[in-house]
Amino acid sequence: MPMKKILLLILTLSLFPLAGMAAGEGRSLPLLVGLRTNMLYDAILIPNVGAEVAIGDRWAVGLDVRGAWWSGTHHHRSWRIFGCDVTGRYYLSPRDGRRLTGHHVGLYAQISTYDFKFGTTGYIGGVASRGVFNHPTVGVGAEYGYTLDVSRRVAFDFSIGVGWSGGHNEEYRTEGGHDVWQRTLNRNWFGPTRAAVSFVYYLARD
């Protein structure tokens, strides 16, 4: 786990020098911030919010957070997740010269923890005996997307990311009103790790 934390920290910090380089290019531009929510998460009852800050003409840095703590007594259902993504983006072709629009590519880092239970079988992203925030799932990847502005203040962002995701996973079953451990897995996944269809609202516009 320490190596995963180091990898996540290195990638996160590496985004800011790129943004700093971009800030020194071209003319001085006013602050531009876009607030967003990923409607794919909203559709499965995971509230989320994000912010993206334009730096220079084409660079941007974003942070997205998500969290849900739904549970019920019938079959002890649980639907719980907490996580965040940090993203550095480069916009290839801003629409009509507007920043934070058009085609974009980027790098991202993720961290999340969860507790999902369907019927009597549940899955925890972490170590149950130490809390789900111990050994969370982490990931890194590259993304491609397109941001379509529909008005001066509103846009829709479509993106997909591919990379690596891994972490500690425990399976358990509810028996006699108690959660009983079944097995432990250390998962590693290479492939699609992020998808977004986001509603974006700009606090200010060029």
DSSP letter at 125? S
Tell me the residue length of the chain: 206
In sequence order, the β-bridge partners of residue 178 are: 175
pTM (predicted TM-score)? 0.81
Say how far apart CA 71 and CA 8 lie, in whole Å.
30
Beta strands of 94-153 (E only): which ranges? 102-118, 121-124, 137-149
Alpha carbon distances (Å) from 9 to 14, 53, 95, 110, 205? 8, 20, 33, 11, 32
Half-sphere exposure for 53 (CA within 13 Å, toward CB)? 12
- The domain limits of the chain are 2-202
The β-bridge relationship of strands 178-202 and 48-55 is unpaired
* pLDDT per residue as tens, the chain (206 positions): 454 554 555 455 455 545 454 444 545 678 899 999 999 999 999 999 999 999 888 999 999 999 988 876 555 667 888 999 999 999 998 777 789 999 999 999 999 888 887 777 777 776 665 665 667 888 999 999 999 999 989 999 999 999 999 888 887 777 776 777 777 778 888 999 999 999 999 997 76
Q: Which tokens is 175 given?
A: 């028996």
| CATH, domain range 2-202 | 2.40.160
